[in-house]
Amino acid sequence: MTIGGPGDGSPSKNRRRDAARVKAKQLRVSQKKKDRRNKIFLQGGIAIAAVAIVVLVSVIIVNSIKPAGPGPKNMASDGALIGEGMVTALTPALQPDANPRPSEPDTTGAIANIRVYVDYLCPLCGEFEDANNEQIAQWVDSGAATVEIHPVAILTSKSAGTKYSLRAANAAACVANYSPDDFFAFSSALFVDQPEETSPGRSNDEIKAVVRESGVSTALSNVNSCIEDGTYESWVTAATNRALDGPIPNSSMESIIGTPTILVNGKPYTGSLEDPKEFASFVQVALGETYSTSTPTPEPTPGG
């Protein structure tokens, strides 16, 4: 009988060890492939999520910024010009990036050209309006003067986040566009019970009530939709910047520095905002100066 020694069976053990090593290597290779695949998927997922976030932010930004659109009709000078009989001059809409066309002032000295830059939240504008609105309306209605009202929105950030200054100026532009002969009445009505600076101001519904109560009779539903949509807010912002950057047409002013800015025949009024007699006197002097500079000096009579 043959008796086996201690080396018996070693080839089988070696094969098992080799097989185990091969299996372990295969598992390591497989795990590395799996890890790389998961890493790629993870990176791809992060990239997709990042792109989605960028797209979402872009959509929010685009939707929150109104693209520049045409201005309102009948405000090609950035203001509404009201003349005899309280009739507003008709002009085409100012196109985006177009320069405003200044109104041509009367140079005969027979008509006072009054220009007022107003912010509907500005308390000083309210003071001037309260003191002078009635006499200005009488002068304009009779043909003795024209008044050009430029709504600006300097105090947009001064209404507890509601942007009342901007919304009110937009509403004035809406009225000018759809019911121009009611512009003066509506602009004046915005100063009745004027909201205080830093207050939220009027809501859009309250502004629409002012539209109705001021007698706007043409295209009322269009005016209301225009107010709700903020149709001319981009134009208001552009017109405000133009007034602040200057120059101010038909005057020696480089720009407005606040509201109200009041010009008569191109000359800035710096007197009392609450004294209608002082303002009337200024208008009379401005008319006289215009007349004296526009009227030729008579030639001397021969032999005289």
101 lies in the same domain as 234: yes
* Residue that finishes a domain, picked among 65, 98, 125: 65
Mean pLDDT value of segment 60-87: 80
Burial class (CB in 10 A: 0-12, 13-18, 19+), 222: middle
37 lies in the same domain as 144: no
50 lies in the same domain as 146: no
Q: Give the 3-state secondary structure of residue 96.
A: coil
Cα→Cα distances 11→7, 16, 19, 20, 35, Å: 9, 9, 12, 14, 36
Burial class (CB in 10 A: 0-12, 13-18, 19+), 219: middle
How far apart are the C-alpha atoms of 251 and 239, rounded to whole Å? 17
pLDDT surpassing 90 at residue 190: yes
35 lies in the same domain as 95: no
What is the model's pLDDT at position 118?
98
* Residue that finishes a domain, picked among 8, 30, 65: 65
192 lies in the same domain as 240: yes
29 lies in the same domain as 136: no
How far apart are the C-alpha atoms of 235 and 152, rounded to whole Å? 10
Q: Of residues 304 and 295, which shows the higher confidence score?
A: 295
Q: Of residues 274 and 24, which shows the higher confidence score?
A: 274
117 lies in the same domain as 89: yes
pLDDT surpassing 50 at residue 138: yes
184 lies in the same domain as 253: yes
What are phi and psi for residue 114, nearest 5 degrees?
-100, 130
Q: What total of structural domains would you count in the chain?
A: 2
Residue 95 lies in a domain: yes
Q: Provide the whole-model pTM.
A: 0.76
115 lies in the same domain as 187: yes
How far apart are the C-alpha atoms of 162 and 202, rounded to whole Å? 9
Residue indicated by tokens 């100066």: 289
98 lies in the same domain as 53: no
Q: Of residues 21 and 155, which shows the higher confidence score?
A: 155
What are phi and psi for residue 155, nearest 5 degrees?
-100, 30
Q: SS3 string of 69-94?
A: CCCCCCCCCCCEEEEHHHEECCCCCC
CB 159 within 8 A of CB 165: yes
Domain that holds residue 37: 21-65
pLDDT surpassing 60 at residue 65: no
55 lies in the same domain as 192: no
Continuous segment of H or E residues that includes residue 115: strand 112-118
56 lies in the same domain as 120: no
